[in-house]
Amino acid sequence: MSERKRVEAMAWVCPVPLRQYDRVLLGHGGGGKLSAELVEHLFVPAFGSAPEHGLHDSAVLEPGEGRLAFSTDSYVVRPLFFAGGSIGEIAVNGTVNDIAMSGGQPIALSCGFIIEEGLAMDTLGRVVELMAGAARTAGVSIATGDTKVVNRGAADQLFINTAGVGRIPDGVDIRPDRASPGDVVIVSGEIGVHGVAVMSEREGIEFGTRVRSDSAALNGLVGAMLDAYLDIHVLRDPTRGGVAASLCEIAAAAGVGIKFEESLLPVPAEVAAACSFLGLDPMNIANEGKLIAIVPPEGVDDVLNAMLSHEHGAGAMVIGTVNDEHPGVVTAVTRLGATRVVDLPLGEVLPRIC
Amino acid sequence: MSERKRVEAMAWVCPVPLRQYDRVLLGHGGGGKLSAELVEHLFVPAFGSAPEHGLHDSAVLEPGEGRLAFSTDSYVVRPLFFAGGSIGEIAVNGTVNDIAMSGGQPIALSCGFIIEEGLAMDTLGRVVELMAGAARTAGVSIATGDTKVVNRGAADQLFINTAGVGRIPDGVDIRPDRASPGDVVIVSGEIGVHGVAVMSEREGIEFGTRVRSDSAALNGLVGAMLDAYLDIHVLRDPTRGGVAASLCEIAAAAGVGIKFEESLLPVPAEVAAACSFLGLDPMNIANEGKLIAIVPPEGVDDVLNAMLSHEHGAGAMVIGTVNDEHPGVVTAVTRLGATRVVDLPLGEVLPRIC
């Protein structure tokens, strides 16, 4: 979503019928009049999803024939708004991206809010506007939803769950265990940006230039890549656990080795600075608008060119290859020419970044 | 699910690789090794959903041609376990029922856990077992999921979101605005039971005999009703807001009046006692295993017989009719023969019952 639109959404004005409640009450989740007002005056205008035949317990989709991707994620990021994004935007983009990582184009999202009693109505309104904008940008409808309000202290402001359904084009077969020896590993751009942006906002630390989250919907990029070359083997968006966790999971699922050059990893200077300051590895930091593609050698040129021509793949780089030497093991060639094993991190290097 | 199976699930034993952590840590939601262990040793064995090709960001469904119902709900009920049910069972049954209220048969559920750091691993394990049992009973797979762990104090133990996709049979057209003057209103059994069961568990109050939640998946009942008569106009499960809210929403959506006899409402004595003690109306209390059906007069006998032959419809009753006298208004004929207007409750009569 453009910066101008984000700023407009941040200046959200509470619609009149809700204005008498400047904070969310328990009753706004109770299934009565207050709930109905929230749906009528906030969700329906923003999401534009009032179906022709009135609101119902479920949305009716007509996806046509073929395979569907189905995915869910909950979003608990703190703070709710940060440089380059918000919980609302990553709640849309994250689930759109999970679907895109199967090669799917999203059809519809569901949206479940868990709200702490007392949340400012303005805060909820801004989050909803930013979600709606992100959904428009990704070309997906928010088709069904639910709101629960819990007592003050029983949640931290606002959690959002989204689930999504997407259509997988015929002939597409993208899954982690298709990584094969000889395949080439591509990343779509600079890594570690989202995690560092959230952390610097949260902790009030700035590392040189301000880092902005890369949160973006990648279904357009994936569509362009598949148009260029249909037989992409694996796609993965390296969110929690970062690039390291994604590569380790792929290596384990396919029973192959993955080897890459550390010097080829696109790590921006501010991310490198923040990570060295905090003793973190940029490979473990979450991204929200990047993907890893594993492609057979004959498709690399087509896929890479398609990526470089797309706004979300303009920084794409080949970083390594798949091998059969060390099944299940990811190795990095360091800047000094040594080889090290890259392992799955144990737990959370930065909690609550998505 | 049978009582024996519920008891077995409650005696859940932590699998060995998880046993060194008797509480959930932040790292169990971090996308690293701890997350992977939770998926491998808890979710996959319980949900039996490890796909043929390894775990991926999204599940791949092959629903065939036709319309799909898509719905979501978050579950924040306290306590997590109560007489006749648990958060896990209503998280499955609630979303299955939302799909069933479009006439849909569920194909797949997603499941998002938001867990407070420090939750006993045993508690999570029991919830997951009960969800798995409920999904088996409803005949639906839990196909994809997500786990987030938030800091101690940032959530209240455990919240669950489920979303679901279901197939709507050809020829079925069930929606609130199809209620038409002359149609007959049926409830599937005793009302108010779930809300009173949760409340009495929470507050430690007993009202005569112990009330047990009616939590149940209604897709089987709905299937039997549609087999008997395809042109059912409206289905609704009266959860939050109770029977009153459901009838008011239908009347508003269809622009019709609904009139029913209070004396025909099946309210069990314990629910009536609890409500009179607390100054509540049983019509506002949530149900988790009941439905309201609105059926044209020519279909009533077939639908009612199908309901009475089904375990979840054995207490079905005709309670009223749809009229064109007072569009948008629900009226009740009291036991004394007077007529009163039934209104949507303002907010929450019993918070956190689902």
Confidence of residue A127 (pLDDT cuts 50, 70, 90): very high
> Which positions ≥6 away from B220 have C-beta within 8 Å?
B138, B139, B310, B312
Choice among B133-142, B204-213, B257-266 with the minimum mean pLDDT = B204-213
Q: CB distance A240–B30 less than 8 Å?
A: yes
pLDDT tens by residue, A327-336: 999 999 999 9
Picking from A139, A168, A197, the residue at the C-terminal end of a domain is A168
Task: Answer whether residue A333 is part of any domain.
Answer: yes
Task: Answer whether residue A323 is part of any domain.
Answer: yes
Choice among A117-126, A274-283, A320-329, B89-98 with the minimum mean pLDDT = A274-283
Task: Answer whether residue A349 is part of any domain.
Answer: no
Nearest C-alpha in A relative to B159 = A114
Whether residues B130 and B16 fall in one domain: yes
* Residue B61 exposure: Cα atoms within 13 Å on the Cβ side: 31
As a whole number, the mean pLDDT across chain A is 92
Q: CB distance A112–B161 less than 8 Å?
A: yes
Whether residues B58 and B148 fall in one domain: yes
Please tell me which of the candidates A31, A58, A240 has its beta carbon nearest to residue B239.
A31
Q: What is the average per-residue pLDDT within B91-107? A: 97
CATH of residue A41: 3.30.1330.10
Task: Answer whether residue B349 is part of any domain.
Answer: no
Total of domains in chain A: 2
Whether residues B164 and B180 fall in one domain: no
Whether residues B195 and B147 fall in one domain: no
Whether residues B181 and B100 fall in one domain: no
pLDDT tens by residue, B206-234: 766 788 999 999 999 999 999 999 999 99
Whole-model pTM: value is: 0.94
CA A319 to CA A321: how far, in whole Å? 7
Would you state the pLDDT for residue B57?
72
Residue A153 contacts B, CB cutoff 8 Å: yes
Place of tokens 């009719």: B321
Confidence of residue A277 (pLDDT cuts 50, 70, 90): confident
Would you state the pLDDT for residue B351?
82
Among A18, A43, A74, A202, which would you mutate to test the B interface (most chain B Cβ atoms within 10 Å of its Cβ)?
Answer: A74
Picking from A144, A168, A192, the residue at the C-terminal end of a domain is A168
Confidence of residue B320 (pLDDT cuts 50, 70, 90): very high
Please tell me which of the candidates B76, B144, B177 has its beta carbon nearest to residue A53.
B177
Whether residues A311 and A204 fall in one domain: yes
Q: CB distance A156–B156 less than 8 Å?
A: no
Task: Answer whether residue A351 is part of any domain.
Answer: no
Strands, E, within chain B: which ranges? 59-61, 67-75, 81-82, 85-86, 105-116, 141-150, 158-168, 184-187, 234-236, 257-261, 292-295, 317-323, 330-333, 339-342
pLDDT tens by residue, A132-153: 999 999 999 999 999 999 999 9
Would you state the pLDDT for residue B75?
97
Whether residues B21 and B152 fall in one domain: yes
Report the residue count for chain A: 354
Whether residues A123 and A241 fall in one domain: no
Whether residues A155 and A183 fall in one domain: no
CATH of residue A270: 3.90.650.10
User: How many other CB atoms sit within 10 Å of the CB of residue A325?
Assistant: 10
Task: Answer whether residue A353 is part of any domain.
Answer: no
pLDDT tens by residue, A32-81: 888 888 888 899 889 985 544 445 678 889 888 899 999 999 999 999 99
Whether residues B140 and B265 fall in one domain: no
Whether residues B69 and B208 fall in one domain: no
Task: Answer whether residue A352 is part of any domain.
Answer: no
As a whole-number percent, the residues of chain A with pLDDT over 90 amount to 74
Nearest to A147 by CA among A160, A157, A136: A160
Choice among A70-84, B47-61, B144-158, B165-179 with the minimum mean pLDDT = B47-61
Whether residues A128 and A205 fall in one domain: no
Task: Answer whether residue B354 is part of any domain.
Answer: no
pLDDT tens by residue, B108-118: 999 999 999 99
> Which range of residues forms the domain containing residue A280?
176-342
Picking from B124, B146, B168, the residue at the C-terminal end of a domain is B168
The interface predicted TM-score of the complex, written ipTM, equals 0.94
Shortest Cα distance, chain B CAs vs residue A259, angstroms: 20
Note which residues in 280-319 of chain B have CB less than 8 A from chain A.
Answer: 286
